[in-house]
């Protein structure tokens, strides 16, 4: 049962927004491109890494709110395969913040029954980061609530290539070189195997790009772009994104029920 009192204070903007949400039609999986940390810092004459540091508070609030809304999955894009091109100090700070986050937040993840899973080329991260990730993953593995996926050293194209190679290896081992694979089989060998595709993709800071994020999985996701920069993104912005999502007409390539009836009537 969703506890509304834990989601919004009486009389707050959040409560007004929450009242507009149909709790029976929540997205099951929300994916987020957390963008704008650098601009947030620049506008305050701060070093870029301060934007990342402030972004952690947004991560904390959005993950906790997603658990309270009883969503199935939240996937956050924290570090892409392209992000290695950033200055060494920025990369090192991001990794340090990640380790700090995991150490500090593990207790909260546990108390909120959240299962934590990193996705991406995890083997390419520093061994100290891998250790923290594996520890948090193992500790939370029996939790049954929200699945919190964090994309690290992640690229959508890299994931597709890794999946192709994994499937080829599998088929070689089983001596099934002439097997024909289908979409379900392919999906079940992605990093996100067995996780439902995102219904809603949120991008902060106003850019209209998907930036190599979950390229296969977002095929039918609704996209919500907000100008809000990630360090300013709070519960109320998540509620606005969900309201926007619920206003969309999702047809998955088909037609509306009402249009179907019209077609039958026209045929008759
Ligand atoms: C994009 O902003 C953001 C990132 C590359 C990193 C996101 C990381 C965090 C929010 C903190 C670490 C996460 C966890 C879970 C501990 P940008 O730097 O590209 O911003 P800009 O486009 O304004 O320069």
CATH of the domain at 85: 3.40.1180.10
What is the value of pTM for the model shown? 0.94
Q: Does any domain span residue 179?
A: no
Q: Does any domain span residue 147?
A: yes
Average pLDDT taken over every residue of the chain: 94
User: Does position 83 have pLDDT exceeding 90, yes or no?
Assistant: yes
Q: Please, which residues bridge with residue 83 across strands?
A: none
- The two most distant CA atoms of the chain are separated, in Å, by 69
Query: What CA–CA distance (Å, rounded) separates 91 from 48?
Result: 11
Q: Hey, which residues are catalytic here?
A: 35, 83
Query: What CA–CA distance (Å, rounded) separates 260 from 251?
Result: 12
Q: Does any domain span residue 51?
A: yes
Residue having the nearest C-alpha atom to atom 18 of ligand 1: 38
Range of the domain at 86: 26-154+197-248
d(CA 164, ligand 1 centre) in Å:
29
For the chain, what is the domain count?
1
DSSP H stretches of helix in the chain: 4-7, 13-19, 37-42, 48-68, 88-111, 127-140, 156-173, 183-187, 235-246, 257-267
118-133 residue pLDDT tens: 999 999 999 999 999 9
pLDDT of residue 262: 61
pLDDT top residue among 255 and 125? 125
Q: Does any domain span residue 188?
A: no
Q: Does any domain span residue 7?
A: no
Residue 264's φ and ψ, nearest 5 degrees, are -60, -45
Residue 47's φ and ψ, nearest 5 degrees, are -65, 150
């Amino acid at each position: 049962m969703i506890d509304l009192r834990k989601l919004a204070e009486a009389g707050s903007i959040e409560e007004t927004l929450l009242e507009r949400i149909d709790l029976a039609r929540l997205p099951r999986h929300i994916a987020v491109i957390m963008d704008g940390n650098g601009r947030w810092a620049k506008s305050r004459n701060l070093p870029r890494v301060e934007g990342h540091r402030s972004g952690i508070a947004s991560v904390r609030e959005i993950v906790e709110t997603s658990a309270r809304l009883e969503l199935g999955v939240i996937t956050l894009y924290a570090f892409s395969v392209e992000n290695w091109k950033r200055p060494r100090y920025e990369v090192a700070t991001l990794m340090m913040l990640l380790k700090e986050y995991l150490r500090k937040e593990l207790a909260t993840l546990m108390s909120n029954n959240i299962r934590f899973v990193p996705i991406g080329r995890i083997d390419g991260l520093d061994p100290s980061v891998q250790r923290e990730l594996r520890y948090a993953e193992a500790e939370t593995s029996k939790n049954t609530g929200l699945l919190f996926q964090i994309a690290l050293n992640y690229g959508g194209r890299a994931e597709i290539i890794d999946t192709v190679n994994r499937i080829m290896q599998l088929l070689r081992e089983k001596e099934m070189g002439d097997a024909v694979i289908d979409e379900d089989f392919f999906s079940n060998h992605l990093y996100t195997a067995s996780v439902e595709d995102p219904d809603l993709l949120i991008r902060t800071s106003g850019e209209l790009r998907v930036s190599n994020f979950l390229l296969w999985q977002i095929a039918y996701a609704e996209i919500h772009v907000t100008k809000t920069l990630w360090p300013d993104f709070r519960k109320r912005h998540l509620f606005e994104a969900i309201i926007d999502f619920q206003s969309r007409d999702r047809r998955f390539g088909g037609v509306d029920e009402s249009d179907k009836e019209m077609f039958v009537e026209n045929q008759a």
